[in-house]
A and B are shown apart, each in its own frame.
Chain A
Amino acid sequence: MFADVVTVTVKELKEIMNMRENRRGMLLVIFIPVILLGIQFPLQFKAYWVKTPLSLMPWVLGPVIYIANSIADSVAGERERHTLETIFATRLSEKALILGKIAASMIFALSITCLIVLIGGISSAFATGADSLRLLHPSRSVVGPLIGILTASLMANVGILVSLRAVTVRQAQQTLGIVMFVLFFSPSIIAVAIPKSILKSIKVHIMSYDPFMAGLIVFLFFTVVDIALFACALTRFKRNRILAGSDN
C-alpha cells in the first residue's frame, strides 16, 4: 500500500509540474504568490509583519492557492482526460490513489509555501534587521507549519470532494474558489457585520483562555474536520460510484 501511494505521488508531482502548456506559464503560477507573500508584504509591512501573526499568512494562503490549482486537475482533470478509468482497471486501490493525489498536492503546495516563508524571512531581515529573529519564535516557526499542514489537508480533501462532483477542471476550480472564499473570508465579513460591543466581549472571552490551550483546541478541531473530510472523500472516491455515472 505504501509503495503504491509513493508511486502515485511521484507521478502526480510530475503531472503537476507539467500542468501548464509551457514552462513559463508554470513559473508564473508559482512565482506570483512567492513575490507577493515572500517579498512584497514583508518589505511593505516591515515591523508589523514580524511582530504580529501577519507573518503566518503565507502558511494559510500558500496551501490554499496551490492546492486549489493542483487537486482539481488531479481528479476532475483525470476524468476529463479519460485516464481515470484506465487506472481504475489496474490493481491499484482507491485508497492508494486518493492518498497519492492528496500527498502530491500537499507536497507541492507546502514546498512552495516553505520557499515563500524562507524568502519572507530574508526580506524581513532586510527590512527590520535583528527584529526578524522574532520569526524563529516557536509561536511562528512551529505553529506556522502546523497551520500549513492543516490548511493543506483541509484544502486537499475539500478539493477532492468538489472535483468528484465537477464535470470539468474549470468547474472544479471555480467551485473551489467559492468554497475558499466562504471558508477563509467569511469570518472577516461576519466580524464586520457584528456590532462592535459584541465583538469586544467575544475578544475578551477568547483572551481569557490560555493561548496554548486555545491553540491546541483549534488544532484538534481542524484535525478532526480534516479526518472527517478524508473519510468522506474515501467513501465517495470509488470505482463504482465514479464510473457508473459515465456513459455506457
Chain B
Amino acid sequence: MPAIRTKQLTRDFATVRAVDGLSLEVPEGIVFGFLGPNGAGKTTTIRLLLGLIEPTSGSLEVLGYSGSDSSDSIRANSGALLEHTGLYERLTALDNLDYIGRIWHIPDSARRDRIRELLTHFGLWDRRSEKVNSWSRGMKQKLAVARTLLHRPRLVFFDEPTAGLDPVAAASLREDIAGLVSRDGTTVFLTTHNLTEAEKLCSLVAVINKGKLLTMGHPDELRAKTGRQRVRVSGGGFTEGVIAAVRERPETAAVEQVNGALLIELNEHGGMTPLLRVMLDNGAHVDEVRRENATLEDAFLKLMEESDHVC
C-alpha cells in the first residue's frame, strides 16, 4: 500500500489553479522529494494531503485513509513542519514540546523522556527553559523539527526543513531524516529548494511547476532523462573564434568558458570528436577532456525551462 496516493488532485483559489490534476503515488518508508519553484503548489499540496484544505476536485489517500472522510486519521498519524516553524515564541522550549506532547496524548513519563531525548539530540537541552523568542533561526528550526518528531509519526511532511540552518546543522538534520527512514520505516515527504539535498536524501522525486506534475522518478532517472551531457575541455588557445566555431556545430547545445576551460553541453547523441577537431583546426590545444554528469539541478532547470516554454 502506498503511503500517499492522489488522483487528479486539483485545488483552485479564486482565479488561480494552485494544484492542477496532480496524480502521485509515494511508497511507504522512503524519502520523497517534492521539488518546484516558489508558488509551484508544493505547500498547497501538503495542506491538501493533511486535510487542512479541501480539494476542488480529485481524490487523495494518505496512509490508507481517504482524504474526503478521514482527514482526522491522516493528521493523527502524521507530523508536519510547515513553511513557518509554528513555535510559541513567548513560551520556553520545554513548554512548546510539552504542549505538543500532551496534544498527542503521550503519557507523562514517556513524554518527559522523549522531550529530553530530542532536546539532547539537537543540542538544545541546556537551553530548554529559555523563551524561544530569544533564539536564533537555526535553533528554532531544530526545535520545530524536534516537535514534528515528538510523537513518532508514520508520515512526516517537511517543508524546507534545512532553511536557515548552518551547514553542519543541515547535514546533521539530513542524517536524522535518513535515519528516520532506515531505522523507523517512516515515510518522509520533503519539499526543498536545495537540489543537492534532494539528490542525497530522496529515493523518489517529483517536480511540480504551476500546479502541474512535470516528472517523477529516481534522481538518477531524472538526470538521465532530462539532463544534457556536459564535457569540460582543459587546454589553451580558446579564442572567441574557437568558441564561435564550437557553438556553430550541431553537436553543441551550449558552450561557455569557465576558468580557462571550455564547458560544453552536448545535444542528444552529440559526440565530442567533431568538436575537438574544430578546436584543433582553429589553433587551440587540448590537455584534458572530462565528461561531467548532469546534476539534478541541471535536470530541474531544464524541466523548468521546458515547462515555462510550454506555458
Contact = CB atoms under 8 A, between A and B. Distances in A.
B80 A86 contact: yes
Interface in B80-115: 80, 82, 84-91, 95, 99-100, 102-105
A19 interface: yes
Nearest to A83: B86
A4 B95 CA distance: 15
B33 interface: no
**Interface size for chain A: under 10, 10 to 19, 20 to 34, or 35 or more residues?**
20 to 34
Interface string B45-58: 00100111110000
A83 B87 contact: yes
A91 interface: yes
Interface in A1-28: 3-4, 7, 11, 14-15, 18-19
B84 A90 contact: no
Contact of B82 (A11, A86, A91, A239): A86
B186 interface: no
B50 A89 contact: yes
Nearest to A84: B86
A51 interface: no
Contacts of B80: 86, 89
Interface string A90-126: 1111000000000000000000000000000000000
B52 A89 contact: yes
Contacts of B44: 248
A133 B103 CA distance: 46
A85 B46 CA distance: 12
A90 B86 contact: no
Interface of A: 3-4, 7, 11, 14-15, 18-19, 81-83, 85-93, 239-240, 243-244, 248
Contact of B47 (A7, A81, A243): A243
Contacts of B51: 239
B103 A244 contact: no
Contacts of B103: 4, 7, 87, 90-92
B18 interface: yes
Contacts of B72: 91, 93
Nearest to B42: A248
B52 A91 contact: no
Contacts of A3: 102, 105
A130 to B, nearest CB: 46
A144 B259 CA distance: 83
B2 interface: no
B102 A7 contact: yes
A243 B53 contact: yes
A11 B52 contact: no
Given A14-B91, A87-B103, 19 more contacts: A11-B88, A11-B95, A11-B99, A14-B95, A18-B91, A19-B90, A82-B84, A82-B85, A83-B84, A87-B86, A89-B52, A89-B78, A89-B80, A89-B157, A91-B104, A240-B53, A243-B53, A244-B13, A248-B11
B227 interface: no
A15 B90 contact: yes
A93 B103 CA distance: 10
Contact of B75 (A14, A15, A91): A91
A209 to B, nearest CB: 49
B53 A239 contact: yes
B241 interface: no
A246 B268 CA distance: 44
A91 B99 CA distance: 13
Contacts of A248: 11, 13, 16, 18, 39, 41, 43-44
A14 B95 CA distance: 9
Given A18-B131, A240-B54, A248-B44, A85 B86 contact: yes
Most buried by B among A15, A18, A91: A91
Contacts of B254: none
B41 A82 contact: no
A244 B39 CA distance: 15
B289 interface: no
Given A7-B102, A14-B95, A85 B52 contact: yes
A83 B82 contact: no
Most buried by A among B51, B82, B89, B102: B102
A90 B104 contact: yes
Interface in B17-76: 18, 39, 41, 43-44, 47, 50-54, 72, 75-76
Nearest to B76: A91
B40 to A, nearest CB: 10
A68 to B, nearest CB: 19
Contacts of A83: 84, 86-88
